[in-house]
Amino acid sequence: MESMLSKGYEPHEVEKKWYTHWETNGLFAAAEKDDRPAYSIVIPPPNVTGVLHMGHALNITLQDILCRYRRLCGDNVLWMPGTDHAGIATQNVVERDLTASGIDRHQLGREKFIEKVWQWRQTYGSAIINQLKKLGASCDWQRERFTMDEGLSRAVKKVFVQLHQEGLIYKGNYIINWCPRCMTALADLEVEHEDHEGHLYHIMYPVAGGEKGPIVATTRPETMLGDTAVAVNPEDSRYAYLAGKEVELPLTGRKIPVISDKYVDMAFGTGALKITPAHDPNDFEVGRIHNLPSLKVIGDDGKMTAEAGKYEGLDRFECRKAVLKDLEEQGLLVKIDSHDHAVGHCYRCHTVVEPNLSKQWFVKAGPLAEKALAAVKTGRTKIVPEKWENDYYKWLENIRDWCISRQIWWGHQIPAWTCGQCGGITVAEQTPEHCSSCHSTDLVQDPDVLDTWFSSALWPFSTMGWPDETALLKTFYPTSVLVTGFDILFFWVARMMMMGMHFMDDVPFDDVYIHALVRDEKGKKMSKSTGNVIDPLTIIEKFGTDSLRFTLTAFAAQGRDIKLSEKRIEGYRNFINKLWNAARFSFMHIKQNYASDAFSDLSLPDRWILDRLKTVSQNMAEALDTYRFNDAANELYQFVWHEFCDWYLEFIKPALYGNKGDAEEQSSKKVLWRVLHDTLILLHPIIPFVTEEIWHILPGTEGSIMQATFPSDKTMSGQISLDPDAVREMDLIMAVITGVRNIRGEMNISPSKALDVLVQTADENTRNLLEQNREFVIDLARLDSFVVEPVGEKPKGTATAIVEQAIISVYLEGIIDFGQEVARLEKEIAKIDVEIVKLDKKLTNPGFVNKAPEDVVGKVKLQHQEYVEKKEKLTANLDRFQSLQAE
């Protein structure tokens, strides 16, 4: 069989084979009702038009690890998959496609356009899903959902109607963020602020009659055309003379009042503030209080309106230039200061957002936020790492109403109808026949659609069939954990909490695990425009999925971003290959099923590796239970490579080759089978493909490794117990071997040259231990002779290493120049001296000896003594060498 196994692991065929196998055999399927404990995760639905990026890869890998792990633990696992309709993003994509063929969506009309988008989804919507599958995602694909599905749309309507009835959704005229390119309103969250070096323009507004008046300061001079007042602080003596007067608004000929409001900061700018209620949220508020008219001078298309007079039709930024030029000509532009300020951009197309007066729908967020806040404060839902809880609190405590209407076509159309007769609004789940106010049938549905995040907020329960009371909800809601990046903590997590508490009367998830962002090797956010993206699919093509998964897992430390480079992935690809080869080697010797064989005649390495296996299993479980993914990965890496491969396999080779007698051969084969078997299961959640492949070659396994049982006290059934004696004893044996190897390496002695070694120690236990395991030492240190004796005559012409109490002497006569050994010993002694000085300082400090806990003092004393003894032995040797040299 081993001849069938290639020398290097080749992932591609293996991955395809097993993914198909898992899926067609229903191994990802959750049971709606079941006696097993339920474990559930809803996927953060990727945009239906999206392409897989590293963020997804990390996010999916971590969820898949948890799901596979919980299945191995015997849970009934539901991983609910699906996609998000991503209103603005998707509409933009399809529009761009139309534009390419010279069509405007308005030519097409709403219905045709939406049809086009559905077609688009039909064609490309499965792309992202297939990419998730390439990552090995073990989602229950039979249950895949889409936010525009019939069922989910029903949930959206029901939520909208109920919130409206409860007064938590309202329509009103307010300042909102407007993207002139997407031609839609945006929520506050959807605006990305960037610091810009801008200017603060000081403009003189003459008092009526042309005399000098107040000077206002603004960063957006074009908005002056929409000013309806100038405000000053009532306590500002500089402007007292203006109270109640009017000033002339330059370039317009309009007269506007000077009003007093203590909102104005006397210290900022000139202390006189222009008021533009239609284009600034603060001004809007001031205008409301003072009953000022609102004048909209910037249109929804970003061009100046008729209200802007001669500037009509100019782009807003062109208009800024024109206004400044005209003001300058009239001598009214007093001064220009440079001024840094934040400018809002659309998070979808990066156009500068315009605050605009507009009639929109809003969610009254306060009451919903309270419950969401309490759920985390009381610990009902735990956010991991905990530090994110603060951000969560802060945002919810200062939450503002949420603008949910979007002026696009792709999305859930708002279930509200305006009456052509009385103007009343009827909100209903089903298309109403009559106006709820005047009973007219002249009804037109609101053309706007809802914010995509409105429907994603319902995801944890809408995907499970809500508003019906389904078995799925009963079994799996609340979900066990939500795994996501911090960038959507507010967008999505907080809103799911609000909706979950309000409509399900319970949190949507017990835990929230917030993972890092994946960046490039320089720490920059990966983006297409910067061209620094590492494409997961390319990586998979090159290194295989398991390599990518293991890399991401090993770097998924809590609270820090992941800087990824190909070099790293290559390193973990080597690990996969190492595992593959260890298995290949094992299968040269394991030809039968040892599953039910009791252990007997265990050698020291056997006992040791079983102890390590058990410890690692426990650590692995603990790490995954607390979302310390990197710890889990590193623990396994260390164990597999540096304990199992580097030591255990080397130790048992002679036994496997039959050089140690039948009993030890059988014993080691049984243990090898068990360790390989359990290690594969431990690794499977992180690297599912290679483990499944090896699993099927391992004699005695049945079915998929997905159906195996995670190693625990139960499965180890008392056969494998912690064995601290074995660990201690092995540490000594390994130290002796390393001591000899060290001398060999430092002295440049060829590895093929077998050495003669003498170990002297007064400790009888150590002598017995070394005698009992002498074959191991001889094999791994490559010795010709190995003598163990009580301390006696010091040998001549040897290099020395000290392990615990034992003096290891390697005969060098005829091999090496003794001067080299002198240098080596001096170096070694110098190192020990540093340690002794450090420990001396502690022990001569009365504060330490008196105040430190006894065990700590004891430990230091012991350590000190050990170093001193070691030094004495090395020094004695050094002396002999020096005298030898002198001869």
**CA distances in angstroms from 187 to 286, 347, 372, listed in the order given:** 22, 10, 19
Sheet of strand 354-363: strand arrangement:
184-186, 169-179, 354-363, 402-403
Provide the CB-side half-sphere exposure for 808 (13 A, CA): 28
Q: Which of these segments, 111-119, 503-511, 649-657, 765-773, binds RNA (CB under 7 A)?
A: 649-657
Cβ-based nearer residue to RNA, 219 or 445: 219
Name the residue type at position 196: H
Beta bridge partners of 216: 203
Cβ-based nearer residue to RNA, 374 or 754: 754
Closest contact distance (angstroms) between CB of 271 and RNA is 5
Binding to RNA, residues 775-834 (CB under 7 A): 827, 831
Binding to RNA, residues 629-648 (CB under 7 A): 630-631, 634, 638, 641-642, 645-646
Pick one of 360, 558, 617, 773: the residue that binds RNA (CB under 7 A).
558
Binding to RNA, residues 247-306 (CB under 7 A): 264-271, 273-274, 280-282
12 binds RNA (CB under 7 A): no
Binding to RNA, residues 504-533 (CB under 7 A): 521, 523, 525
246 binds RNA (CB under 7 A): no
Beta bridge partners of 40: 78
Interatomic CA distance for residues 23 and 20, integer angstroms: 5
Cβ-based nearer residue to RNA, 574 or 592: 574
Closest contact distance (angstroms) between CB of 34 and RNA is 33
Interatomic CA distance for residues 427 and 161, integer angstroms: 6
387 binds RNA (CB under 7 A): yes
Cβ-based nearer residue to RNA, 126 or 738: 738
Pick one of 184, 405, 577, 877: the residue that binds RNA (CB under 7 A).
577
Binding to RNA, residues 842-871 (CB under 7 A): 842, 845, 847-848, 851-853, 856, 859, 863
Helix runs in 626-763, H state only: 629-637, 650-656, 662-683, 688-697, 713-716, 724-746
Pick one of 835, 836, 875, 882: the residue that binds RNA (CB under 7 A).
835
Closest contact distance (angstroms) between CB of 623 and RNA is 8
Q: What angle do CA 793, 799, 804 make, to 5 degrees?
A: 75
Q: Which of these segments, 27-35, 244-252, 364-372, 562-570, binds RNA (CB under 7 A)?
A: 562-570
Identify whether the C-beta of residue 259 lies closer than 8 Å to the C-beta of residue 288.
no
The DSSP element (H or E) to which 246 belongs, if any, is: strand 246-249
Closest contact distance (angstroms) between CB of 644 and RNA is 8
Interatomic CA distance for residues 156 and 136, integer angstroms: 31
Cβ-based nearer residue to RNA, 265 or 433: 265
What is the dihedral sign for C-alpha 562, 568, 573, 578?
negative
Cβ-based nearer residue to RNA, 794 or 861: 861
Nearest to 137 by CA among 465, 459, 540: 540
Cβ-based nearer residue to RNA, 9 or 453: 9
Query: How far from the centroid of its chain's Cα atoms is residue 171's Cα?
Result: 37
Closest contact distance (angstroms) between CB of 544 and RNA is 8
Cβ-based nearer residue to RNA, 435 or 676: 676
Beta bridge partners of 146: 83
Closest contact distance (angstroms) between CB of 425 and RNA is 28
Name the residue type at position 210: G
Pick one of 13, 35, 150, 195: the residue that binds RNA (CB under 7 A).
195
Closest contact distance (angstroms) between CB of 848 and RNA is 4
Binding to RNA, residues 200-219 (CB under 7 A): 200, 216-219
Instruction: Write phi, then psi, for 381 (nearest 5 degrees).
Output: -115, 135
Binding to RNA, residues 732-761 (CB under 7 A): 737-738, 741-742, 744-746, 748, 750-752
Closest contact distance (angstroms) between CB of 855 and RNA is 9
Binding to RNA, residues 341-380 (CB under 7 A): 341-342
Nearest to 701 by CA among 858, 592, 794: 592
659 binds RNA (CB under 7 A): no
Cβ-based nearer residue to RNA, 123 or 398: 398
Interatomic CA distance for residues 347 and 44, integer angstroms: 19
- Long-range CB contact pairs, 832-836, < 8 A, 24+: 832/867, 832/870, 832/871, 832/874, 833/871, 835/867, 836/864, 836/867, 836/868, 836/871
The size of the interface with RNA (CB under 7 A), counted in residues, is: 98
* Helix 662-683 vs helix 688-697: crossing angle, to nearest 10: 150
Closest contact distance (angstroms) between CB of 606 and RNA is 16
Cβ-based nearer residue to RNA, 717 or 750: 750
Cβ-based nearer residue to RNA, 328 or 521: 521
189 binds RNA (CB under 7 A): yes
Helices (runs of H) and strands (runs of E) counted in the chain: 29, 29
Closest contact distance (angstroms) between CB of 560 and RNA is 3
Closest contact distance (angstroms) between CB of 688 and RNA is 17
492 binds RNA (CB under 7 A): no
Pick one of 71, 85, 549, 584: the residue that binds RNA (CB under 7 A).
584
Q: Which of these segments, 116-124, 289-297, 376-384, 577-585, binds RNA (CB under 7 A)?
A: 577-585
Buried/exposed 421-437: b ≥16 CB within 10 Å, e otherwise: eeeebbbbeeebeebee
- Long-range CB contact pairs, 396-401, < 8 A, 24+: 396/369, 396/372, 396/494, 397/369, 397/373, 399/365, 399/366, 399/369, 400/188, 400/365, 401/362, 401/363, 401/364, 401/365, 401/366
Pick one of 535, 561, 597, 779: the residue that binds RNA (CB under 7 A).
561
Closest contact distance (angstroms) between CB of 873 and RNA is 17
Q: Which of these segments, 191-199, 505-513, 604-612, 785-793, binds RNA (CB under 7 A)?
A: 191-199
Closest contact distance (angstroms) between CB of 582 and RNA is 4
Closest contact distance (angstroms) between CB of 317 and RNA is 16
Identify whether the C-beta of residue 545 lies closer than 8 Å to the C-beta of residue 134.
yes
- Contacts with RNA, 90-129, as mask; x by CB under 7 A: ----------------------------------------
Closest contact distance (angstroms) between CB of 563 and RNA is 4
Cβ-based nearer residue to RNA, 588 or 884: 588
Cβ-based nearer residue to RNA, 568 or 774: 568
Binding to RNA, residues 144-163 (CB under 7 A): none
Distance between first and last Cα of the chain: 62
390 binds RNA (CB under 7 A): yes
Name the residue type at position 742: N
490 binds RNA (CB under 7 A): yes
DSSP string, 776-823: HHHHHHTEEEEEEESS-SPPSSEEEEEETTEEEEEE-TTTS-HHHHHH
Query: How far from the centroid of its chain's Cα atoms is residue 306's Cα?
Result: 50
Q: Which of these segments, 249-257, 431-439, 708-716, 841-849, binds RNA (CB under 7 A)?
A: 841-849
Interatomic CA distance for residues 850 and 845, integer angstroms: 9
Q: Can you read off the two tokens belonging to residue 439?
A: 């009973």
Interatomic CA distance for residues 189 and 404, integer angstroms: 11
